[in-house]
Amino acid sequence: ESARKAKKSRPTKKSERKARRADQQKSQRERRRRADQQKSQRERRRRADQQKRQRERRRRADQQKRQRERRAR
C-alpha cells in the first residue's frame, strides 16, 4: 500500500519546473551559439577559398600576359 502511494507521481514543484525550463533554455542557447560559430567558420573558410582562387586566376593571367609580351618581342 505505502509503496503504491510512493510510486504515484506527485505534481512537480514550481521550483523544479523553473529549474528544468532554465536548463532547457541554457542548452538551447548553447546549441545556437555552436551553430553560429560553425556558420561563421564556414563563411571564413569560404571567403579564404574565394580569395585563393582569385589570386590564382590573377597569377595565371599575369603569366599569360608576360608570355604574350615575350612572344610579341
pLDDT of residue 62: 96
Q: Is 28 part of any domain?
A: no
- For the record, the C-alpha cell of 60 comes out as 595565371
Q: Is 25 part of any domain?
A: no
pLDDT of residue 7: 63
- Count the alpha carbons within 13 Å of 23 in the hemisphere toward its beta carbon: 6
64, burial (CB in 10 Å: exposed 0-12, middle 13-18, buried 19+): exposed
- Rounded Cα gap, residues 54 and 35, in angstroms: 29
- For the record, the C-alpha cell of 64 comes out as 599569360
Range 27-56 average pLDDT: 98
Q: Is 22 part of any domain?
A: no
Q: How confident is the model at residue 72 (pLDDT cuts 50, 70, 90)?
A: confident
The yes-or-no verdict on residue 20 having pLDDT over 80 is yes
Range of the domain at 47: 40-73
Number of domains in the chain: 1
Q: Is 65 part of any domain?
A: yes
Diameter over CA atoms, the chain: 107
The yes-or-no verdict on residue 1 having pLDDT over 70 is no
The SS3 of residue 42 is: helix
The SS3 of residue 51 is: helix
